[in-house]
A and B are shown apart, each in its own frame.
Chain A
Amino acid sequence: MINVMMPANKGTYQQPDIFGYYGKFGGAYIPEMLHKNVEELQNNYLNIIYESSFQKEFQQLLKDYVGRPTPLYFAQRLSKLHNTNIYLKREDLCHTGAHKINNTIGQILLAQRLGKKRIIAETGAGQHGVATATVCALKGIECIVYMGEKDIERQAPNVARMKMLGAKVIPAKSGSKTLKDATNEAIRDWINNPNDTHYIIGSVVGPHPYPDMVARFQSIISEEIKKQLKEKNNIEIPTHVIACVGGGSNAAGAFYHFLDNMSVQLIAVEAAGCGINSGQSAATTQLGKPGILHGSKSIVMQTEDGQVIEPHSVSAGLDYPGIGPLHAHLFESGRAKFLSATDDEALNAAFELAKLEGIIPALESAHALAALHQIKFKMNDTVIVCLSGRGDKDLATYMKVLDI
């Protein structure tokens, strides 16, 4: 029997309306030049991804290539520190080192079925770029990755990996030279290549249907958490699920099958950078207002005049001035609690995990770990932290801290 991805609950937090709205956030605010490609996706994504041959190949690759299911690890010493029960969902053990590949496997299979011959992607930390380059190598498809010039510098190992995997890495030199600008460049590439190209967006952002599609591909994370808690400890649901939010894909995946169960506390952790009020931050829900970025209405960090603000985080994957529309809705409705961790708090949490558990987390994931210090837990709580990626790519940053 093949395992099939669980479908979405209709009319709930999981599923947007037919125009891609979660509450008042979402939609497809795109220029006409993108309409045909986006409409093609809107009309076909659900049919394609729930087709049995698709699910068969998807599930097989997740198992044999990505290495799923990823462990749900009871972190004993970390639990002791916080006097509760903490489980780490080990997305860092996925092939390529982060959750991003759950989505790129799904999208490459979709692109193949749509007959696309060329793949483009944006990347911040380089994890999504590597995950895209990887699946393109797997399928023998041309791959172009846009990456901010600043991120190319601070995530050098991932740039090398993408190149070794055969991808072309194009520096985005406009604006803040980070993830936002790489996304702009990828969208412009798609406008200029309307026929043969599929754009693999790396998070739950972009015009409808991307947020929903990416959330569904990442929903495997919470599907497994549910099963693993039941099998291991006969626990039906956790009390808390904690995940970092850049665009919000690992959080969407970790929350997905708990979204409609109000007794699960969902906690999203944004990057506060040098501090919420420092002018050097990426805490979108704290600093942003409703607006439109990269094709959807969401919460966006912007000036009074509606110009997008260049954010800051030590973590390239969280250095983004928006969040996905699902998260904007979870924030506004109060369904999820939004916390933030500063650069320093995240760095401390990374070192803490390394020493307590022998696991070096990605800087992004370290933000989720840092939030553990901001929450009062009960002794018998069941706390899940989505460990979205491993820290190899961040060693240069960690080494700087060690030198002090």
Chain B
Amino acid sequence: MSRLEQLFIKKKKNILNIYCTAGFPALNSTLNIISLLAENGADIIEIGMPYSDPLADGETIQSSSNKALSNGMTIHKLFEQLKKFRSQNSFLKNKGVVLMGYMNPVLQYGFEKFCADAANVGIDGLILPDLPEHEFETEYGAIIKKYGLDFIFLVTPETSEHRVRKLDKLSSGFLYAVSSSATTGKEKDFNAVEIYLQKLQSYQLKNPVLVGFGIKDKQTFTTACKHANGAIIGTAYIKAIENSNNIEEITKNFLQSILN
């Protein structure tokens, strides 16, 4: 059983997943941020692999990605930094850690080598929003599976029930429910989000569901958790640490403001 599966068996509600771009705000901050997020109550940590053309991202994550790239972050450096991260901090032993990114840098790294190296450093799963399900089924899914990684598909309010079920079947670990059809960092109408999440709930899917895009504080987190297993916070956390010179303090306060 994968670490993500075990995690959702132990804890079914209020799963908190925090996203941070690797190499942001500084080239070497990632390992520290992962530890801080784990110590302060995040259940899953999503590490963004920066890309020059992040189509699904709004301004905040575009700019953290640009900063990370100008800091010199690459997939090679990230794996170098992540070596032995599991054993460096006891809080991290049972936390889920997933990589999020776009296909092109992964293809240049070499898809199979990428999966092998990710599994080797202790990554649990992958979120690659521009890997289509056709190519997943015919080419890449088998490689991902071979290295024991979970693969997480996205669904949106525009995704038909038939397709939600298909993507749920192809996914493992969890399913990523995008709260509304939008890039990251846009304001959301939460009434509509609730109705959508109730609909997803009624499908009784195989995978736990985490809600992402537009989750930014205690209120939106709590609302999302009412109808899903948990939620993913990205833009709001990046904004919090963007201009801070005390990441320890900010991270602690940020997580407390959501969990307490």
What are 27 A-B residue pairs whose CB atoms fall within 8 Å in the complex? Answer: A27-B135, A28-B132, A30-B132, A31-B56, A31-B130, A32-B129, A32-B156, A32-B159, A32-B167, A35-B158, A175-B52, A175-B53, A180-B53, A191-B55, A192-B181, A192-B183, A192-B186, A292-B102, A292-B104, A292-B130, A293-B53, A294-B53, A300-B104, A305-B108, A306-B51, A306-B105, A308-B52
Chain B minimum-CB-distance residue to A188: B183
A103 to B153, CA, bound (A): 34
A378 to B41, CA, bound (A): 76
Does B131 count as interface, using CB distance less than 8 angstroms? yes
| CB proximity of B211 to chain A, nearest CB, Å | 14
Taking a contact as CB atoms closer than 8 A, the residue among A30, A32, A192, A295 that contacts B155 in the complex is A32
Query: Given A194-B158, A291-B104, A305-B76, are A29 and B56 also a contact pair (CB < 8 Å)?
Result: no
A194 to B53, CA, bound (A): 20
Give residues of chain A (10-57) contacting chain B, Cβ–Cβ below 8 Å. 19, 27-33, 35-36
Q: Which residues of B contact A302 (CB under 8 A)?
A: 104, 108
Q: Which residues of A contact B163 (CB under 8 A)?
A: 35
Q: Which residues of B contact A293 (CB under 8 A)?
A: 53, 104
> When the two chains form their complex, are residues B55 and A188 in contact, meaning their CB atoms are under 8 A apart?
yes
Taking a contact as CB atoms closer than 8 A, the residue among A33, A289, A290, A292 that contacts B182 in the complex is A33
Query: Given A29-B131, A188-B55, A306-B106, are A174 and B154 also a contact pair (CB < 8 Å)?
Result: no
Taking a contact as CB atoms closer than 8 A, the residue among A28, A29, A194, A295 that contacts B181 in the complex is A194
- List residues of B whose CB falls within 8 A of some A CB: 51-53, 55-56, 58, 62, 66, 69, 74-76, 102-109, 129-132, 134-135, 153-156, 158-160, 163, 167, 178, 181-183, 186
Q: Which residues of A contact B56 (CB under 8 A)?
A: 31, 33, 188, 191
A35 to B131, CA, bound (A): 12
Does A304 count as interface, using CB distance less than 8 angstroms? yes
> When the two chains form their complex, are residues A291 and B155 in contact, meaning their CB atoms are under 8 A apart?
no
Q: Which residues of B contact A36 (CB under 8 A)?
A: 158-160
| CB proximity of B101 to chain A, nearest CB, Å | 10
Q: Which residues of A contact B135 (CB under 8 A)?
A: 27, 29
For the A-B complex with A29-B130, A33-B158 known, give 5 more contacts whose Cβ atoms are closer than 8 Å: A36-B160, A184-B53, A292-B103, A294-B55, A306-B108
> When the two chains form their complex, are residues B134 and A19 in contact, meaning their CB atoms are under 8 A apart?
yes
Closest 4 CB pairs of A and B: A306-B108, A306-B105, A31-B129, A194-B181
> When the two chains form their complex, are residues B104 and A32 in contact, meaning their CB atoms are under 8 A apart?
no
Q: Which residues of A contact B159 (CB under 8 A)?
A: 32, 35-36
> When the two chains form their complex, are residues B107 and A305 in contact, meaning their CB atoms are under 8 A apart?
no
A238 to B90, CA, bound (A): 72
Does A187 count as interface, using CB distance less than 8 angstroms? yes
Query: Given A19-B134, A175-B53, A292-B130, are A29 and B103 also a contact pair (CB < 8 Å)?
Result: yes
Does A307 count as interface, using CB distance less than 8 angstroms? yes
Q: Which residues of B contact A180 (CB under 8 A)?
A: 53
A175 to B56, CA, bound (A): 15
Chain A minimum-CB-distance residue to B106: A306
> When the two chains form their complex, are residues B154 and A292 in contact, meaning their CB atoms are under 8 A apart?
no
A302 to B109, CA, bound (A): 12
Taking a contact as CB atoms closer than 8 A, the residue among A19, A294, A305 that contacts B74 in the complex is A305
Q: Which residues of B contact A31 (CB under 8 A)?
A: 55-56, 129-130, 154
A5 to B109, CA, bound (A): 43
| CB proximity of A282 to chain B, nearest CB, Å | 16
Taking a contact as CB atoms closer than 8 A, the residue among B76, B153, B181 that contacts A191 in the complex is B181
Which among A36, A180, A187 has the highest number of chain B CB atoms within 10 Å?
A: A36
Q: Which residues of A contact B107 (CB under 8 A)?
A: 290-292, 306
> When the two chains form their complex, are residues A289 and B130 in contact, meaning their CB atoms are under 8 A apart?
no
Q: Which residues of A contact B109 (CB under 8 A)?
A: 305-306
A292 to B107, CA, bound (A): 9
| CB proximity of A38 to chain B, nearest CB, Å | 10
| CB proximity of B214 to chain A, nearest CB, Å | 12
A174 to B54, CA, bound (A): 11
A223 to B239, CA, bound (A): 54
A306 to B53, CA, bound (A): 10
A180 to B134, CA, bound (A): 26
Q: Which residues of A contact B183 (CB under 8 A)?
A: 33, 188, 191-192
A28 to B134, CA, bound (A): 9
Query: Given A19-B134, A291-B107, A302-B104, are A32 and B154 also a contact pair (CB < 8 Å)?
Result: yes
Q: Which residues of A contact B130 (CB under 8 A)?
A: 29-31, 292, 295
Taking a contact as CB atoms closer than 8 A, the residue among A35, A174, A304 that contacts B108 in the complex is A304
Q: Which residues of A contact B108 (CB under 8 A)?
A: 289, 291, 302, 304-306
